[in-house]
Structure 1
């Protein structure tokens, strides 16, 4: 176990290297720090840094801030009242998509209600006609609808018509 721990510590120290761009533009890899003449923005990697990109970005940002006369780009445009235009555009796009989805759901519901209305009116017309109606029971047998079941079905169809078609004209 101690051997594994010792090997892992040694391998970590092997990765503790510096990386920078020298004055001639070449990338230099070393286990020692760069000479004092190398600016911080040219140091790409140093021991203990999380990643070269974050080190380089942080160094470049620090150099930009310290340059005299360098204008820093504002994070937010004051003319928009401090709002991020990309974020606002995404929010607006999400709102439009939500409205479209809501409209589609409303349209589906309206179509289903219209279909229910038509079928309920047809069923009610059949029951109101007085013709003998035959239904299939749970056992798969055919049976005639008696007056009590007919009245019950007409009541149920009137409720469907009222909820899906509007008030029933009687």
Structure 2
């Protein structure tokens, strides 16, 4: 029976020691990094993290007992520290800017393609009209009063000249 009590005491002592070591290993640091993300670690934060960004450290204190970072002691103009990564808002603004520029470029390309297609269609139409005029087929026209008449040679020559001008402009 004595042996049984000794084992039980040894087990309780071992359990208590483990609980003590567990509380020591629970030492955690919590801080907010330059990107605004909460970081959890069992190691201290990097030296560039200001004391105001350290949320928790072992011993229950909320701030580091080190000298303040240079960025805290003297105000720094915005954009002067090129080593800090851009904030989430800055990255979002850059993304929106790039997306808008891409959308505008796509619109310009679409407009240019549409203009090119219209020019090509006008060119083909003018060439087909010129061919029909040059073939000498009988072409009827309608005047303002709605009366039909056959196109005369002078009118035909004027229409051919107009078709040539359209072809010169549209078919570059």
Q: TM-score, normalised by structure 2?
A: 0.50
- Where does the alignment leave 5 or more consecutive residues of structure 1 unmatched? 1-67
Larger radius of gyration: 2
Query: What is the CA distance between 1:118 and its match in structure 2?
Result: 1.2
- Where does the alignment leave 5 or more consecutive residues of structure 2 unmatched? 1-49, 55-70, 72-77
Query: Which residue matches 1:31?
Result: none
Query: Which residue matches 1:70?
Result: 52
Bigger mean CA deviation after superposition, 143-152 or 77-86: 77-86
3-state DSSP class of the match of 2:141? strand
Alignment deviations for residues 99-132 of structure 1 (CA, whole Å, 9 cap, x no partner): 0000111111111111111111110001111222
Equivalent of residue 145 in structure 1, options 137, 151, 154: 151
Query: What is the CA distance between 1:142 and its match in structure 2?
Result: 0.9
* Greater RCO (Cα-Cα under 8 Å, separation 6 or more): 2
3-state DSSP class of the match of 1:78? coil
The number of equivalent residue pairs is: 98
Q: In structure 1, how many angstroms separate the alpha carbons of the residues matched to 2:83 and 2:132?
A: 69
Runs of 4+ in structure 1 over 3 Å off:
74-83
Q: In structure 2, how many angstroms separate the alpha carbons of the residues matched to 1:145 and 1:86?
A: 66
Check if 1:160 corresponds to 2:166. Answer: yes
Alignment RMSD: 2.8
